[in-house]
Structure 1
Amino acid sequence: MKKEFVVIGLGRFGGSICRALTELGMEVMAIDREEDKVNEFSSVAAHAVVADSTDESVLKSLGIRNFDHVIVAIGDDIQSSILTTLMLKELGVNKITVKAQNDYHEKIVRRIGADHVVHPERDMGRRIAHNIASSSVLDYLELSDEHSIVEIVANERLAGNSIIDLDIRAKYGINIVAIKRKNEIIVSPQANESIHRGDILIVIGADNDINRFEKRMLDD
């Protein structure tokens, strides 16, 4: 069944989410105070509306509580972001994701009921830093402030060893949860699984432990 989303705030972040959700075949209502931005997305989203999301009566008239998920992607106006989140919560919206400007902003919207909070600039910065710091790191996904999933290309130092030989869990406190090998994906690989050069290891663990592993086993 097609899910229905609302994206409030059509800046760079909100606009990209709106386009991506639409491309995935989702029903999207795009909302912004600025008419120019709304006009830009009138041919992208199923519905594009000029509206003030801090006005409870406006949100009610749009039937906001009937949507599956609302993304508050308001840019620099933290007050409007907080008020909008509060209104959505009071109206009984099922799921709310909020773009946060800083940790203080995140703390407030979480307290008033945001289900998920994202820091796109910070998170992308960390992702890029991991990618450029090591040629072996393909991708980096933050799970929380202290834990991540990382895709690592097996180098010569790792190749030819089995998972039990490397003893990664005991030495570094991290786990290999899957291995991508050409067109094959090995989920929950066995301890005796041998690692080949060029395998993509999907590793999960605490950031500090992953960093130790990268420095010890991946640094050129």
Structure 2
Amino acid sequence: MRSNVKDKQFAVIGLGRFGRAVAATLHKQGYDVLCVDSDEARVAQILADRIASHARQLDSTQPAALREAGIFEQDTVIVAIGNYVQESIITTLNVKEGGVPHVVAKASSEIHMKLLKKVGADHVVFPEHETGCALARSLTTPGILDRFELDPDNSIVEVIIPEHFAGKTISELRLRSSFGLNVLAVSQDGKFEINPPPEKRLGKGGAMVVIGANQDINRLPI
């Protein structure tokens, strides 16, 4: 068992825009990243840009190639071959059967997402869908600054404090009884107070982070 979080090892399979962005972010955070792609030019570019610790050109549909590259020894593998469904599914299956404990796969459609889950992906991301949903929400509910969906029915959201909430305490607003929401944090001037007390007074122009059902969040006057 690794004693340090930074010792956790990641591999990214597929070095398109999504895979490259994931690898670059992990590398900047100090993690060891192994990158692979079937395109030799993409592998060379990753190494030239010093985005990854190691990069290999290989066919990820071949289990032997993945084993030789050390993919099966990683803690988390991100399969970022979203636009090539067959290769994506076969690669995800290979990685899971190789014993990788945590596999994240990128999907390009709803059906692709279902198939990836069927072959064992622990987590599936659908960037285009998620970006579209986020844009629609930002246009229809501009008071929501950020959202993390716990599941299809519940979320954690950061919202601008509604004008008529300003100057009142959390206790006075009775958010739990009136809206079914719990306040996790309150910010003012960019600084967050976690688990604020009931007597915390909300300031104009600040933000609050709440958790609850989406239908209750939608009832907030934002």
Quote how far apart the aligned CAs of 1:203 are.
1.4
TM-score, normalised via structure 2 length: 0.89
Contact 1:162–1:195 (Cα < 8 Å) also in 2: yes
Could you tell me which runs of 5 or more consecutive residues in structure 1 were left unpaired when the two chains were aligned. none
Contact 1:65–1:94 (Cα < 8 Å) also in 2: no
Residue of structure 2 equivalent to 1:88: 95
Moved more, 194-203 or 160-169: 160-169
Q: Superposed, which structure 2 residues align to 1:64-143 within 5 Å?
A: 64-143=71-150
Picking from 38, 41, 45, the partner of 2:46 is 41
Residue of structure 1 equivalent to 2:11: 6
Contact 2:182–2:211 (Cα < 8 Å) also in 1: yes
Contact 1:130–1:140 (Cα < 8 Å) also in 2: no
Quote how far apart the aligned CAs of 1:78 are.
1.2
Contact 1:164–1:192 (Cα < 8 Å) also in 2: yes
Q: Which amino acid aligns with 2:28?
A: E
Residue of structure 2 equivalent to 1:19: 24
Paired with 2:108 and 2:179, the residues of 1 have a C-alpha distance of 33
Could you tell me which runs of 5 or more consecutive residues in structure 2 were left unpaired when the two chains were aligned. none
Picking from 189, 192, 196, the partner of 1:182 is 189
Paired with 2:162 and 2:178, the residues of 1 have a C-alpha distance of 18
TM-score, normalised via structure 1 length: 0.90
- Runs of 4+ residues over 6 Å off in structure 1: none
Residue of structure 2 equivalent to 1:199: 206
User: What is the CA deviation profile of residues 31-81 of structure 1, one whole-angstrom value per residue up to 9, with x for unaligned ones?
Assistant: 111112112111321111111111011011112121111000102111111
Quote how far apart the aligned CAs of 1:183 are.
5.5
Aligned sequence identity (%): 39
Q: Superposed, which structure 2 residues align to 1:127-166 within 5 Å?
A: 127-166=134-173
Q: Which amino acid aligns with 1:10?
A: L
**Number of equivalences:** 215
CA RMSD of aligned residues (A): 1.7
User: What is the CA deviation profile of residues 177-211 of structure 1, one whole-angstrom value per residue up to 9, with x for unaligned ones?
Assistant: 11122354222222232211122101122222212
Quote how far apart the aligned CAs of 1:125 are.
2.0
Q: Which amino acid aligns with 2:152?
A: D
Provide the secondary structure at the position in 1 that maps to 2:165.
coil
Contact 2:13–2:60 (Cα < 8 Å) also in 1: yes
Contact 2:180–2:216 (Cα < 8 Å) also in 1: yes
Moved more, 46-55 or 135-144: 135-144
